[in-house]
Amino acid sequence: MIRLRIKEILEEQGHTKYWLRKQLDGIGYANLSNLMNNEVRSIRLETIDRLTTALNCTPGELFEKIE
């Protein structure tokens, strides 16, 4: 299973969900919550690009494979 590490990255950087929501203008609060809680089945490449830009990380740092 692959999961997003958005919460962990925000915590490491000292940012909040509210801060990220402002950076990702156009992504709704409910959608962001679903992404952060790994309650999504798919994610658009555009969204991955926007997340990595806002969080200043690579796609490899954004995802984690868990057993």
pLDDT computed for residue 26 by the predictor:
85
Q: Quote the pTM value.
A: 0.91
Q: What is the pLDDT of residue 3?
A: 95
Q: What is the pLDDT of residues 47-60, one digit of tens each?
A: 999 999 999 999 99
The model's pLDDT over 26-45, given as tens digits with 9 standing for 90+, comes to: 888 999 999 999 999 999 99
Angstrom distance (rounded) from CA 61 to CA 59: 5
- CATH 1.10.260.40 for domain 2-59: yes
Distance, CA of 67 to CA of 56 (rounded, Å): 26
